[in-house]
Each structure stands twice: as C-alpha cells, then as structure tokens.
Amino acid sequence: MRASGILMPVFSLPGPWGIGTLGREAYRFVDFLADARQSFWQILPIGPTGYGDSPYQSFSAFAGNPYFIDLDLLVQDGLLTPDELPPALPVEPIQYGALYTQRPAVLRLAAGRLLASPTPAYRDFCRQQKGWLEDYALFMAIKEEQGQAGLSQWPDPLRCRQPQAMADARERLAGACGYHRAVQYLFYKQWQALKSYANGKGIRLIGDIPIYVSPDSSDLWTRPELFQTDGRMHLTRVAGCPPDSFAADGQLWGNPLYDWPRHAAEDFAWWKQRMRHATSIYDVVRIDHFRGFESYFSIPAGSATAQGGQWVQGPGQAFLDAMHQAVGRDAVIAEDLGYLTDQVKALLAASGCPGMKIMQFAFDSREPGNYLPYTYTPNSVVYTGTHDNITTEGWQQSASPQDVAYACRYLRCAPQDLTDAMICACLSSVSGLAVIPMADWLHLGPEARINTPSTQGGNWQWRLSPGLLTPALAGQIAALTELYGRAPGQN
C-alpha cells in the first residue's frame, strides 16, 4: 500500500468554543482531506488533560476529553438551548484557563437533561464501558471534591481506596459520578459519528496512545499493583529519557512505570483491554515510545533530572504476542524514535509494525541515527516532522547553516523551496505511508509548533486560522499525492 495522510490534532481545529471540537469544523476538515485525495487523518491523544494541558498526561487511558464535545451538536440534540451557549473564544492561541472555567458549567446543563431522561443508548454505553467508566467517574468526582488536587495529595483513605472510604464516596458523590458518566457518553456519541463520517469519505483515523499513564490518573488509582509503587500509591520509579544531544539533562516525564512481571502474570489483561478500546475508536493506533517495550529508562522518584536513571529490561516478545492475540498485527504503528539498540530493532522487526522516519532528522547533525530517504523500507511511515518537532519552515530558521545547506544539496533545492522539497521527498519515498503535518502544507513557522519536549508553558496551543483550508490548497495537495502514486485507487 502507498498512501498519504495529514497530521492535525483535533484541538488545533478552528471553531468558536476555544478548542477544536467534534462538530462542524471537524467535518469540514474531513471534507478537505477527501478533496485533497488523502487516506488518513492522524491526531494526538484525545483523553482528558490535566496540569500542563498535555494530551500525554491524561486523567484516563480510556476517557475522552470533554473540551472536544461540540456545543452546537448538543443544541441539535435538545440538551442545550442557543441562549445557554457561552461566548465564543478567540481562535488562537488556545485559552485553557477560559475553557476550564467555562466548559463544565454548560456541560452540567446538558448532562443534567440527559440524566433526567436517560436514553437506551446512554444505558447501553454505561453497561458496555463499565470496565473503566465507573472508576473514572468516581476518580473525577473525588478529584473535584479535593479541589482538583493531584492523586498523591489525596487523604490516605481515598488515595489508597480503603473500602469504607470508597463506599462513602460512592454514596456521597453519586450525582457527580453521574455527571462524568454522562459527559463521556456525549463525547463518544460525537466521536463515533465523526469517525463514521470520515470512514464513509475514505478517511481512516490514526490515533495516538501514550505508552505510559499519568501519575494523576484513574488508571494508577484503580490498579496500583500494575505499577512500580510502594503499596500506598507513591511512585518508586518514574519514566523518562536519558541525556542526549537534544537535552543535556535528559527528559524527566514523571509517569508511573509498569510492574511488567505483574502484567505478564495476568497475561497483559490491562493492556489487552486498552488496545481493544483503542482499536474500537481508531482505525490505526500509533503507540508512543515503542522502544519502552524492549527496555525502558527508569529514574528514581523525586529526582530533579533524568541523569540518575538506568535502562531496565521490558516485557519484550511476550508483550507483542499478547497484543497480536488481542488486536492482530495490522492496526499498529510503532513510534520507534530515539536511542535504538539492535535489540529494539529486532523487536520492531518481530512485531511486524511499521516504524517511523522523520525527514528533518535526516539532515540534523545532532541526530545519531541515519534517516536519509535511501534507508527507508516500505514497512514504515515517513513524516517531515511530528508534534514534537518544530515546523519545517521553523527548522530551516533554527538549524545550523551547515545542516540547511546539506538538506538543500541532498534534495537539490534552493533554501526557499526546502519545505516543499521535504514534503516531496516524503511522498516519493518507498515508505508505505507518508504523513505531513498540516502546518508544513501551510508553510507555517515556529509559531505553529505544537510541543517543545522538556519545556513547560506555551505548548499544545496552536490552532488553525479560519480560511486556510482553501480549495486551492486541497487541489495542490491532491496533485502531489497523485503525482507520487499515493492517492486512493492508485495502488
């Protein structure tokens, strides 16, 4: 298969409600993709986000982000009235503080009306998703009661799930739990409708799941024995990456690390549940930090940087066998970037999953790996850059003159044509799938960067300005997609 797609986070879509939603602009983007002869839309994780607003630090590995619920669709469903809609927010950048203040009040109105007259579809959703929904709803209700404090700051009886404290909380917070169940139903109703529309247009959705869960999550709270804790919900080791030429102190993510022997003893049941859920809401799943399944970087909890960490053996082939049993071999993309040993490469080959190639890395003298296009294989996915990279226009501005000159010499282009040359190099490569970030198609600069790893503040805020998704741009993308044999029907 030779196909192409566009990387565009849902939250980056335009719209009146302060963040991209699952309403009109999302459907418009699907139409744009179809007009541009694309086959895939890749997004970032869609879970509810907490401190720092990162989609890779979610309150749940299964829940959807309430910010994505489209309010106009709730009006159409009779759960809101037009005069109850909040004022429109500026298109860019995203104002998370305003969303945090504004969104719950209006969703409570809609959820209250749903709960006053529960539909059969709502009851079915609660029954089908009970395996994660009940614990998530209670977690969020307690979190609200605790003034949004993180899990580690909860009183011991609640943090450690003492039976009497849990029973009391379920009774005391029954109304709040109902609200969070209803919100998840509203999210997934809209999500599945959008996915059906996209699939009907020939667009498949590539979802993204972080390898790790958040330290402030219902996942850790519900099953602490599956993670490296001290038995009282305190982390003993945390995740990150070692120092390299991009980050002198490494990256200290702070996520809980898995107790892999315990997962293996349960035949990876929790991960099977997670992957089955992911493949039910996406067509293809990109697993972030795939190398962590071969070996993972373990840092003592409480460390100021990642420098004191060490590599520890991961679950390896046994994990892959369990995932293949659960969801097959054709629904996963492996994010295999970073420090790759021969063992990691062997595990990727054994998985059968396509790995990732980054065109910017091919010409970055700091990158130790070889990402030049002639090294690619058909079983790979190539990008100009990802959400963690600067845009290609920004790369040209920030890279060393020597690196830019090398890229231009290799791609046979003038500096002003470098972004187009990198896009064409991706599309013309042997990689089975080429995914181009929307910001690169638009030739946007550093202002459109989505995330800068190892930094806080200013991330996850870029939004697409209205009017940029023009018929002319769709035609330009379609022409290049067809030129390089990646349009639907050309394979």
Residues annotated as catalytic (active site), given as ranges: 288, 335, 388
CA distance 485 to 478: 11
CA distance 416 to 430: 25
- 423: three-class secondary structure by DSSP: helix
Q: Which two tokens stand for residue 155?
A: 């009183």
Decide if 4 contacts 436 (C-beta within 8 A).
yes
Q: Does the N-terminal peptide bond of residue 368 adopt cis geometry, omega within 30 degrees of 0? A: no
Q: Which two tokens stand for residue 387?
A: 């959400």
Give the type of residue at 210.
P
CA distance 322 to 338: 25
Burial code (b: 16+ CB inside 10 Å, e: under 16) for 410-427 equals: ebebeeeebbbbbbbbbb
**DSSP code string of 401-421:** HHHHHHHHHHHT--GGGHHHH
Work out the burial of residue 409: count CB atoms within 10 Å of its CB; fewer than 13 is exposed, 13-18 middle, 19 or more buried: exposed
CA distance 404 to 55: 31
CA distance 166 to 135: 11
CA distance 51 to 81: 31
CA distance 134 to 166: 12
Burial code (b: 16+ CB inside 10 Å, e: under 16) for 455-489 equals: eeeebbbbbbeeeebeeebbeebbebbeebebbee
Q: Which two tokens stand for residue 359?
A: 């065109």
